[in-house]
């Protein structure tokens, strides 16, 4: 039997984690902006994942988490699946942070290159702020164009995209669990229905096509 929404301790913890995550992203961005704090302590979850740690701990297995006490040990117990998902999310977040820092550094290099080109191009004082601005945009786009066409840029961008996609998949698993707990239609259920509708539509179309012939 499922408890009403809000009354279920599981859903309350999940929703709190969901809401807290939004605020925590701002802190993450602030940290990313500060290159000196780019390397987080390995035992410390990134700010936007801290709420999920609380959520997993709240399941009652937080104090018994062998993988936390012995890094690399498999997750055990009732909350095993959540621990695994949370661990993957933390790891993906660490990877994202690392690659994003590289991305930010690459962009900083682009800006530096643009300034160098700008210095060479503008010998005379500009006639207007608009002229100065347009010259800057030209230089910035030229420098960016050079970087953006490189293989390293493409790989960095793809890594960020792939890591984000993997995080979305993991978050989906948690949402799926929550939907089941609350007796709500889950994504998997809706997908299954869509497949059935498609199969039925295709089956219905065949006799119609035969009749037309």
Partner 1 sequence: MNTASDSLAQLLQSAAAMQESGRAVLKTMLGMGEIEVGTSEKRCVYSEDKIRLYRYAPLARSAGLKPLLICYAMVNRPYLLDLQPDRSFIRELLHAGLDVYLLDWGYPDGADRFLGFDEYVDGYLRRCVEFVLKEHAIDSLTLLGVCQGGTMSLCYAALHPTQIARLITMVTPVDFKTPENLLSKWAQHIDVGLLTQSGNVSGDFLNLIYLSLMPFRLTQQKYVNLLQMQGDRVQLENFMRMEKWIFDSPDQPATAFREFIQWFFQENRLIRDELTLAGKPLRLKNVTAPVLNIFASKDHLVPPSASIPLGAHIGSKDYEALEIDAGHIGLYVGGKTRKTVPAAVMAWLKKRS
Query: Applying CB under 8 A, does 61 fall inside the site for partner 1?
Result: no
What phi-psi label fits residue 77: left (phi over 0), alpha (psi between -120 and 50 degrees) or beta? left
Query: Considering only residues 167-186, where is the footprint of partner 1 by CB under 8 A?
Result: 168-169, 172
| Residue 62 Cβ vs partner 1, minimum distance, rounded to whole Å | 27
Residue placing its CB nearer to partner 1 in the complex, 69 or 202: 202
Query: Applying CB under 8 A, does 191 fall inside the site for partner 1?
Result: yes
Query: Applying CB under 8 A, does 130 fall inside the site for partner 1?
Result: yes
Residue placing its CB nearer to partner 1 in the complex, 123 or 151: 151
| Residue 190 Cβ vs partner 1, minimum distance, rounded to whole Å | 7
- Kindly state the number of chain residues that form the binding site for partner 1, as judged by CB under 8 A: 34
Which one of residues 77, 187, 188, 200 is an interface residue with partner 1 (CB under 8 A)? 187
Q: Distance (Å, rounded) from C-alpha 186 to C-alpha 182?
A: 10
CA 50 to mean position of chain CA atoms: 14
Which one of residues 29, 33, 148, 184 is an interface residue with partner 1 (CB under 8 A)? 148
Which one of residues 128, 204, 206, 213 is an interface residue with partner 1 (CB under 8 A)? 128
Query: Applying CB under 8 A, does 192 fall inside the site for partner 1?
Result: no
CB atoms within 10 A of CB 200: 10
Record the tokens describing residue 198, joined without a space. Answer: 């498609």
- Which residues of this chain interact with partner 1, rule CB under 8 A? 125-130, 133-134, 137, 140-141, 144, 148-149, 151, 154-155, 157-159, 161-162, 165-166, 168-169, 172, 187, 190-191, 194-195, 197-198
């Amino acid at each position: 039997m499922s408890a009403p929404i809000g009354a279920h301790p599981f859903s309350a913890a999940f929703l709190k984690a969901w809401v807290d995550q939004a605020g925590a992203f701002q802190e993450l961005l602030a940290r990313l902006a500060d290159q000196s704090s780019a390397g987080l302590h390995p035992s410390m979850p990134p700010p936007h994942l801290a709420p999920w740690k609380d959520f997993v701990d709240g399941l009652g297995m937080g104090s018994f988490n062998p993988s936390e006490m012995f890094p690399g040990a498999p997750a055990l117990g009732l909350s095993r699946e959540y621990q695994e998902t949370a661990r993957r999310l933390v790891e993906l977040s660490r990877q994202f942070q690392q690659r994003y820092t590289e991305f930010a550094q690459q962009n900083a290099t682009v800006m530096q290159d643009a300034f160098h080109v700008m210095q060479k191009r503008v010998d005379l004082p500009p006639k207007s702020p608009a002229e100065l601005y347009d010259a800057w945009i030209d230089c910035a786009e030229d420098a960016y164009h050079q970087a953006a066409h490189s293989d390293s840029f493409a790989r960095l961008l793809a890594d960020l995209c792939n890591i984000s996609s993997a995080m979305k998949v993991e978050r989906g698993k948690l949402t799926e669990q929550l939907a089941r707990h609350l007796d709500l239609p889950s994504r998997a259920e809706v997908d299954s229905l869509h497949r059935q509708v498609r199969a039925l539509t295709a089956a219905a179309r065949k006799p119609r096509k035969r009749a037309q012939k």
